[in-house]
Structure 1
Amino acid sequence: MSRIAFLAPDISMFERAHELFQTQHSDIHIEKGLLSEGVAIASFLIAKGTEIIITRGGTASALRNAGLEATIVEIPITGFDIIRTVEKAKLHGRSIGAVSFPSILHGIDFLGPILGVDIRCFPIHAEDEADGQVLQAFRDGVDVVIGGFITGRAAQKHNYPFELIDSGAEGILQAAQEAKRIAHARSLEKTKTSLFQAVLDYAYEGFILVDGEYRISFFNPIAERILGMDSSKVIGKRITHVWPELNLAQVMHTGKDELGQILKINEVDVLCNKVAIIVNDRSAGAVATFQDVTQIQQMEARVRRRIYASGHVARFRFDDIIGTSAVIKQTIELAKEFSLTQSSIIILGETGVGKEVFAQSIHNYSDRRQGPFVAINCAALPSQILESELFGYVGGAFTSANPKGKPGLFELAHGGTIFLDEISEMEYPTQGKLLRVLQEKKVMRLGSDSVIPVDVRIIAASNKNLKTLVNENKFRSDLYYRLNVLQLRIPPLRDRKDDIKSLAQFFLEEHAGIVKRHLKLGSSAIQTLTQYPWPGNIRELQNSIERIIAVHKHEIINAAIINLVLEDQDNSNPLNASILPNEVEEIRKALALTKGRYAEAAKILGISRSTLWRKLKRLGLN
């Protein structure tokens, strides 16, 4: 069905419109109907999608009075139409009565002197008034009446002379152009409304719009979800009945906006803004927007990670921890259980056992895996610098500070994990400030008086006995008990000797590509590695393997090169004085091959001449 329809009051105008619209307005649908009949036809057309109806006079008034949901465009009566009608009426006499609706009669009496006639107006406002006004006109002495179709019916009923004020081509085409302009404007408005509707429907915020009578005119899907209400059941109802606690009427009454209010809806905290809509200094309605606070916090966390936390990522996972010994398997399982909680963790272990590897693995196994992992060594920085790194500072907080200020690591770790390595080295005053952050879950930048909420999990690590430090008043007892909710002890490498071979081979393969050589551990080398106590644990083992790769030129790594490397690392280590049983035979063979020449024998064994000399002295062979 066409969006525009032309409703002709009689067959004559019906045919005229058909002829006029054939070339210029073929998309306008044409029907015939007068007054009440026209209302019925118009109702049918509107139900089929018609939005604009073109008609004239009494039919236009009848459509408006019927309250139809369509735009009525009335065919104008032009000066040419009136002149043509008056010229015809003059044939009946010079006294003319104009009986019609006010919209047609407007200004017609001024044409009388110009056209040399006496024109008197007899307005009607409804179909049933036409008969009485025609009779009144002739009682007043008119010679002829002019008007619309219902005036013609009344005049013909009493056999009085009548001339129809007909709509010429000018008025019909003018009405069609006006209808087209309205249709175009409505189309643009619909497009804008659709875009506006889409924006509000897919916004992150709930929107409620009320009119000047407090009735809800818009209620988007987010509002439905948060309030648990169906928009179809609340549109048109007063907001004071649907959600009286919102107190939107107060905003409309005062005209003052209320921003940033925290409301609880269905056990959910929401951030609400209420804004009055003022038109011509009067309140025309109000809009309320609200958003789930949890969603705001999640978005804030993503922004923080995007802006500040680039690079604060945990690389290691539990699958990266090498070892099959029972003790390391048990430690991993316990760490996994700890990962599933939100409690603070203290990781204890000697230097080099891989405390940060476990900390990163715990983070990546936890619900915070999508958040940042921020690590800092508390022993690496002086107290004041450590505080500025942990808590941040505002511009000008101290000399050489960044004028723009800087967020602290707690802010960067929001929504994730912060790893405080060697926390035992943190100075006593800084410990107190850290305790305050842990208790209040808020951080205050240096030089600022405002607090910033943070959601951070703490993993601390130490290679010292914190309980002993507490007893010695070197570590705050309240901080210790705040951190020591869950405790994870990482076993030293000497307690997991079954893993030494796997770790050594892993480090060999990891660095093989760098030197473009593939080395293998001989049985004597494995035995030597296993017997060594590894005071520096995994870090020392990794360093030893790197050193071996750098200096060893043969494919097989034997005990001699292992001893040489370990001896170079620590000449005081008692293991360097030990002689393995198979090593004695290797020394004798080397001396036999070189006919006792120490330098050549040491070269074959892969050790220095002085090391060979010391071994021979211990063996009593020199």
Structure 2
Amino acid sequence: MSKILFLVSDEAMIAQARDVLGESHIDIELSTAFSNQAVKVVQDYIAQGVDVVAARAGTALTIKQAEVNITVVEIPITSIDIIRAICEEDLRGQTIAFITYSTTVFGLDTLADVLGVTLFQHVVHYGDNIEQAVKEAASRGANVMLGGARVVAAAKHHGIPYILLKLGRESLLQAAREAVQIQKALEIEAAKSGFFSTIIDYAYDGIVTIDQEHNITALNPKAQQLVRIDKVSAFGQNAASVLPQFHLSETVDSGIESLHNIIDVNGTKVICNKIPITVNGRPYGAVATFQDISKIQQMEEVIRRKIYARGHVAKIGFSDIVGKSPIMIEAIEMAKDFAVTNSNILVLGETGTGKEYFAQSIHNASKRADGPFIAINCAALPAQILESELFGYVGGAFTGANKEGKQGLFEVAHGGTIFLDEIAETDYVNQGRLLRVLQEKTVVRLGSHKVIPVDVRVIAATNKNLEELIDENKFRDDLYYRLNVLTLELPPLKERKADIHLYAETFLRELSADMGRRFRLTKDALQLLEDHAWLGNIRELKNVMERVVATCKSDVINSKVLSMNLRKRRISINAPSSKEDRVTREIMSALKDAKGNYTAAAQILGIHRMTLRRRMQKLNIEY
């Protein structure tokens, strides 16, 4: 802890100060010195950790003028000190000169009347000769001199009566309290300075700061390395002469931040951010932070390698999605628009329409592209296992749990995206926990009370009508509205026949490469593909292509070969109930009126398109 030094004129005053300050339990160093001797004494004490010194006016002024690196507190002179000094002697009728350095004491005329003396103040300034001041005071009619040790010495030298103005209890305590407050403020400031110095010195970025005069005030080790100049040489130098390429002076003068500037520093390309420092609208300087671009690229590569090593990466982009039909292009464009936001997305589509392809593409086109992409099928795991996978657990949370615990997928996905496929299959308990994550952006592991903040974008997908499930109390409406911020509806393959041959040819190219052959489809085969219902959508089409390639002896695939591998779905031979018969007729009629357009047919029936597709599948309706 730093110390406070009190300087007084003699040993008697040291004893007095020790008694007064000791009663107040203030830890203070005491020493005798005045005038020019004080500077040397103070310098010695600074080396011992003193950072605040208190002294009488003349000595305090001498220390200040010497520009010693220490805070100076002036021990005040109070009216009580003057009264006490004069009352110790019988001085009635005397003319007293109160000689002091620049300190003005008010009410001296009133004091003089009360004490029965004539009293005036004779002010001296730094560098004035005290003996000359005593002579001048005598010439003004003073026959007694009142002041500190130097005034007493000069008066004694000229044989003039004197009174030593001693340090009063009140003056000492006032100065001590002020010194303690200053000391506390200095310690707080030193702690802040040390805190920020540590941050700056150990920052990965190079950091340079300048003041309002454009002079360099800080240059951290990383900056010294990049600009090839040491801190000592740069400190206090004008930034324009030492670091001209940064143009930091312009940042101070304009008060405008400048971000992501690419500049050349000794042959190294760095990316630099320049920020003005203002207080109450006034410029106080500027700070520049910068990094070697090649190091940033290396770091990004390391991060990408780590993410790939864990398998938490999206490998699909929008360029990988096949489709040229207007309805597919519309879906892709909407997904691209959604990608630039940070909102949750609900993807709706039948089985096999490529919901995860879109989820990966959205992630890779978003600001989270460098973060992890986690995909989980909610229908593939029992409820309790799904819970531990999503939210993690602490050691011993349940029988068979890893003794060290395990991160949940939401924690793993921090800074990235989590894709929850078949979200409709989650149970009510897990739905509630998912809701909490979305609302509070935190997770709590099983068996723990610790709240862990997470920054994750959620993309959920389903092939079911969640609104119907809400009506059936199988899905939480509050979770639905949290997920359904942005809705992306993927069209089934049946509604984009123009894309069928694109998918078929794409799959055949991949399969041809694997088998070392060159398969191709005839026109009649392509027509047969377009006429098929494709209730399994893209996934079913890929399966058909694999079966054809596995069984076809020739590289040419015609309608005969293809038809052998198409699994036709027929209406059940069992007679439908009257209700099923009625629903079937209504659907067929709506499809006929809508000319096969499922969206239009659903609107005619007043139901969701997904509901229409599910009912058709249930009733084995092909159209």
TM-score, normalised with respect to structure 2: 0.52
Other-structure match for 1:457 = none
Other-structure match for 2:362 = 407
> What displacement does 1:289 show?
1.7
- CA offsets 1:282-319 (integer angstroms, 9 cap, x no match): 3222211222334545666788899x989746xxxxxx
Alignment gaps of 5+ in structure 2: 350-354, 373-487, 489-508, 522-548, 552-623
Other-structure match for 2:255 = 255
Q: Percent identity between the aligned chains?
A: 30
Other-structure match for 2:45 = 45
> What displacement does 1:226 show?
2.4
> What displacement does 1:410 show?
7.6
Is 1:393 the equivalent of 2:336? yes
State which drifts further: 243-252 or 98-107: 98-107
Q: Which aligned pairs between 1:466-481 and structure 2 lie closer than 5 A?
A: none
> What displacement does 1:93 show?
3.0
Alignment gaps of 5+ in structure 1: 314-371, 417-446, 448-459, 473-534, 538-622
SS in 2 for 1:12: helix
> What displacement does 1:280 show?
4.9
Q: Which aligned pairs between 1:179-190 and structure 2 lie closer than 5 A?
A: 179-190=179-190
The structure with the largest alpha-carbon Rg is 1
Q: Which aligned pairs between 1:5-404 and structure 2 lie closer than 5 A?
A: 5-25=5-25, 27-88=27-88, 91=91, 93-103=93-103, 105=105, 108-109=108-109, 111-126=111-126, 128-297=128-297, 312=311, 372=313, 374=315, 382=323, 393-395=336-338
- CA offsets 1:137-171 (integer angstroms, 9 cap, x no match): 11121232211111111111111111122111221
| Paired residues of 2:245 and 2:265 also in contact (CA < 8 A) | no
> What displacement does 1:32 show?
0.9
SS in 2 for 1:264: strand
> What displacement does 1:205 show?
2.2
| Paired residues of 1:93 and 1:144 also in contact (CA < 8 A) | no
> What displacement does 1:182 show?
1.5
SS in 2 for 1:394: helix
Letter in 1 for 2:69: E
> What displacement does 1:266 show?
3.1
| Paired residues of 2:260 and 2:272 also in contact (CA < 8 A) | yes
Letter in 1 for 2:315: V
| Paired residues of 2:2 and 2:183 also in contact (CA < 8 A) | no
Q: 1:273 to 1:121 in 2, by over 3 A?
A: same
| Paired residues of 1:8 and 1:14 also in contact (CA < 8 A) | yes
Letter in 1 for 2:512: N
Q: Distance in 2 between matches of 1:215 and 1:107?
A: 48
Q: Which aligned pairs between 1:469-508 and structure 2 lie closer than 5 A?
A: none
Q: 1:251 to 1:467 in 2, by over 3 A?
A: farther
SS in 1 for 2:263: strand
| Paired residues of 1:207 and 1:219 also in contact (CA < 8 A) | yes
State which drifts further: 246-255 or 97-106: 97-106
Q: Distance in 2 between matches of 1:378 and 1:60?
A: 78
Other-structure match for 1:463 = 512
- CA offsets 1:377-404 (integer angstroms, 9 cap, x no match): 9999656769988996222999969999
Other-structure match for 2:406 = none
Q: 1:82 to 1:257 in 2, by over 3 A?
A: same
Q: 1:284 to 1:81 in 2, by over 3 A?
A: same
Q: Distance in 1 between matches of 2:515 and 2:176?
A: 91
Other-structure match for 2:480 = none
Letter in 2 for 1:222: K
- CA offsets 1:38-90 (integer angstroms, 9 cap, x no match): 21111111122211112112111111111111111121112210111233466
- CA offsets 1:213-264 (integer angstroms, 9 cap, x no match): 2111111122123223222221121111211121111222222222222212
SS in 2 for 1:237: coil
State which drifts further: 153-162 or 248-257: 248-257
Letter in 2 for 1:159: G
Letter in 1 for 2:41: I
- CA offsets 1:192-231 (integer angstroms, 9 cap, x no match): 2221122222223222111122111111122123223222
Q: Distance in 1 between matches of 2:371 and 2:41?
A: 65
Letter in 2 for 1:41: V
Letter in 1 for 2:230: D
Other-structure match for 2:618 = none
Q: Distance in 2 between matches of 1:396 and 1:219?
A: 40
Q: 1:289 to 1:377 in 2, by over 3 A?
A: closer
Letter in 2 for 1:139: S
State which drifts further: 182-191 or 463-472: 463-472
Q: CA RMSD in A?
A: 4.5
Q: 1:376 to 1:118 in 2, by over 3 A?
A: closer
| Paired residues of 1:301 and 1:415 also in contact (CA < 8 A) | no
- CA offsets 1:109-162 (integer angstroms, 9 cap, x no match): 553344443322211113652111211111121232211111111111111111
Q: Distance in 1 between matches of 2:518 and 2:165?
A: 110
Q: Distance in 2 between matches of 1:248 and 1:188?
A: 29
Q: Distance in 1 between matches of 2:168 and 2:47?
A: 30
What is the count of residue pairs matched by the alignment? Answer: 376
Q: 1:286 to 1:373 in 2, by over 3 A?
A: closer
Q: Distance in 1 between matches of 2:333 and 2:370?
A: 12
State which drifts further: 111-120 or 92-101: 111-120
Q: Distance in 1 between matches of 2:28 and 2:147?
A: 27
SS in 1 for 2:194: helix
- CA offsets 1:574-610 (integer angstroms, 9 cap, x no match): xxxxxxxxxxxxxxxxxxxxxxxxxxxxxxxxxxxxx
Q: 1:462 to 1:90 in 2, by over 3 A?
A: farther
